[in-house]
Structure 1
Amino acid sequence: MIRCKRVYEAATADDGCRVLVDRLWPRGCRKDSLGLDTWSREVAPSTEVRRRFAHDPAHFADFREAYRSELAARPELWWGLLEKARQGNLTLLYAARDEQLNNARVLAEFLEEELERRQPGSSPVCYADEQG
């Protein structure tokens, strides 16, 4: 399961692997206070895309589209996260105030779609070659 959580929320046992997915280190947080497994700054939106968004809800749709394009172009940045999600709980940590309109939510959605896409097909047509 993939979940998103603000870095300012306490870690819990069911968080699983905790990964900070912001390009910038969150304000007021000491590294030892986050309970991080890793910081994947490379998977965060580019500085250009992040600045255009500027956390303005009116720009979120454009931000989402631009960020998803960046993710699609660089799968090597998120493959490891996909593997962690397959193995158990994955918590994407972010610092944004808006708990719905942020990069971690877009990344989680993208990863969930990738997990779904990589599942074995459920249609009988997909299994036609396996019979035999």
Structure 2
Amino acid sequence: MSDQRQVRVRRIYDEPRPDDGARVLVNRLWPRGISKESAHLDEWCKDVAPSTELRKWYRHDPARFDEFAHRYRDELQQPAAAAAFAHLKELAADRGLTLLTATKDPDISEAAVLCRLLTGGNG
């Protein structure tokens, strides 16, 4: 029986919590209005973020989320993204993981897709 660590999604603007584990920003762009010091990050994992083209197409439109998730899962097969995703798996197994995003609705973000994939869902 494996001891699966918790993976969660939070906004980078939320206060850090003691049970966050590794805090990793998964956006390609640095969030507005927050300094690197106040973000309390362990890492900024740009390589796992969706491509600029996919991000611009999606525009966090809830009606496009399912298609976004499908296209994003395909992008995660590319070598750099796959390596970054494998690294997130290691962090999650080691100490738990909080995937941070700047989006207003984290439930329809790349962080939500990553969380589902990391916890055995289909993203």
When normalised by structure 1's length, the TM-score is 0.82
Higher relative contact order (Cα pairs below 8 Å, separated by 6+ residues): 2
- The 4+ residue runs of structure 1 with deviation greater than 2 A are none
Aligned residue type for 1:104: A
Match in the other structure for 2:67: 62
Match in the other structure for 1:4: 9
Number of residue pairs the alignment of both structures matches: 114
Instruction: From the CA coordinates, give the structure whose radius of gyration is larger.
Output: 1
Among 19, 35, 56, the alignment partner of 2:40 is 35
Per-residue deviation, residues 21-75 of structure 1 (Å, max 9, x unmatched): 0000001010000110010011000011111101111111110000011113332
Aligned residue type for 2:48: V
Match in the other structure for 1:87: 94
Match in the other structure for 1:98: 105
Q: Structure 1 CA distance, aligned partners of 2:39 and 2:23?
A: 9
Q: Structure 1 CA distance, aligned partners of 2:120 and 2:77?
A: 12
Percent identity, aligned pairs only, is 45
Q: Structure 2 CA distance, aligned partners of 1:56 and 1:80?
A: 28
Query: Which 5+ residue runs of structure 2 have no aligned equivalent?
Result: 1-5
CA RMSD of aligned residues (A): 1.2
Worse-matched range after superposition: 1-10 or 71-80 = 71-80
Per-residue deviation, residues 76-109 of structure 1 (Å, max 9, x unmatched): 1211110111112100000000131111000111
Shift of 1:113: 2.0
